[in-house]
Amino acid sequence: MITFLNKTSKAMKALKILPIMLLLVLTSCSTVRVAADYDRKANFNNYNSFAFYKPGIDKAEISDLDKKRILRAIDAEMMAKGLTKSEMPDLLVSIFTKERERVDVYNNNFGYGWGWSPYYYGNSISRTTEGSLYIDLIDAKTNELVWQGIGTADLINGDLERKEERIREIVKEILMKYPPEITNK
pTM here is 0.72
What percent of the chain is predicted at pLDDT more than 70?
A: 68
What per-residue confidence (pLDDT) applies to 114?
59
Predicted confidence (pLDDT) per residue in 18-60, tens digit: 444 434 334 444 699 999 999 999 999 999 999 999 998 999 8
What per-residue confidence (pLDDT) applies to 122?
62
Would you kindly state where each structural domain of the chain is located, as residue ranges?
Answer: 1-30, 31-175
User: What is the overall mean pLDDT for the chain?
Assistant: 81
Predicted confidence (pLDDT) per residue in 84-95, tens digit: 999 999 999 999
DSSP letters of the chain? -HHHHHHHHHHHHHHHHHHHHHHHHHHHS---EEEEEE-TT--GGG--EEEE-HHHHHT--S-HHHHHHHHHHHHHHHHHTT-EE-SS-SEEEEEEEEEEEEEEEEE-------SSSS----EEEEEEEEEEEEEEEEETTTTEEEEEEEEEEE---S-HHHHHHHHHHHHHHHHTT-S------
**What's the CA gap between 35 and 165, in Å, rounded?**
20
Strand partners, 147: 38, 137
Confidence class for position 156, pLDDT limits 50, 70, 90: confident
What per-residue confidence (pLDDT) applies to 39?
96
Confidence class for position 181, pLDDT limits 50, 70, 90: confident
The CATH code of the domain at 31-175 is 3.30.160.670
